[in-house]
Amino acid sequence: MNRQLRAVCAWSGVITLVFMFAGMVVAGWLPVPSPDMTSAEVVEMYVEKRDRIRFFSMMNLIAAGWSMLWFAAISAQLRRIESGRSPMWTYVQLGAGIASSFLFCVQAITWTVAAFRPERDPEITQAFNDMAFLWFLMPFVFATVGALAIACCILEDKSADPVYPRWVGYANLYFAIGFPMAMFTTYAKTGPFAWDGLWPWWIPVIDYTLWSIVMSWATHRASNRQHDEEGAATAIDMAYALRVAVLAPRAPKPPGS
């Protein structure tokens, strides 16, 4: 893979955020609406912002697909750390990334369903709205497990020239602790524990944003170093592969052919 494509994959964590926040700004959901809204207020919001919410849903779907480039880029670097041994942390991080990407799709489709027919029973629209926002924030476990896998892998790297700086591993431990704050939204509709409050919304979202920036930068740095290190080796390997193809003896033709 050339350097430019490696850079796109590495920075896809930030690109994903751009899609997501652009959709939220258009929808007028930055910050997100209060979970204490009545069913009539929820319906009114979906009627007035129907197309804007649909746009937000589409941006989330794009973010879901784009995020896979980022998770794959991180896994590729973790695999370098675990070269020669069982790549358990690589698989854990990749699995958590796939699950997180799927969650982007689930919440996006749920918002779209709510906006598709807002004239239905208000309680149904409110239920879809509740489900989408709870899907958006509460499944912190995948981001937490992914960050823990990255941290453990980085901190196990005892090489003289580690793939990731050691401080990135400790940063991932911090982020893994911050993400679970989102689970408290199940207990409240108002105040700091509501889904628009400090603990479920601001802390996890700020942490996720910082996590995406840190890991995008660190993965881009590691990918550039990998590209520089593998440049000559790849050329040698390709020359050898062509040599084998040229010098390999042809298989004998079967009798009678």
**Rounded to two decimals, what is the model's pTM?**
0.87
Q: What is the dihedral of CA 240, 228, 146, 207, to 10 degrees?
A: -160
Residue 51 binned pLDDT confidence (cut-offs 50, 70, 90): very high
**pLDDT score, position 230:** 80
**pLDDT score, position 257:** 52
Give the largest Cα separation in the chain, rounded. 86
234, with CB counted inside 10 A (0-12, 13-18, 19+), is exposed
Whether residue 242 has pLDDT greater than 60 = no
Whether residue 82 has pLDDT greater than 90 = yes
Whether residue 235 has pLDDT greater than 90 = no
Half-sphere exposure for 74 (CA within 13 Å, toward CB): 35
Query: Residues 165-205: pLDDT tens digits?
Result: 999 999 999 999 999 989 999 999 999 999 999 999 999 99
Residue 198 gets which letter from DSSP? I
What residues have CB less than 8 Å from 193, skipping those under 6 apart? 184, 185, 187, 199, 200
Residue 85 binned pLDDT confidence (cut-offs 50, 70, 90): confident
Average pLDDT on 207-214 reads 97
Average pLDDT on 106-132 reads 95
Q: In angstroms, what is the C-alpha Rg of the chain? A: 23
Residue 227 binned pLDDT confidence (cut-offs 50, 70, 90): confident
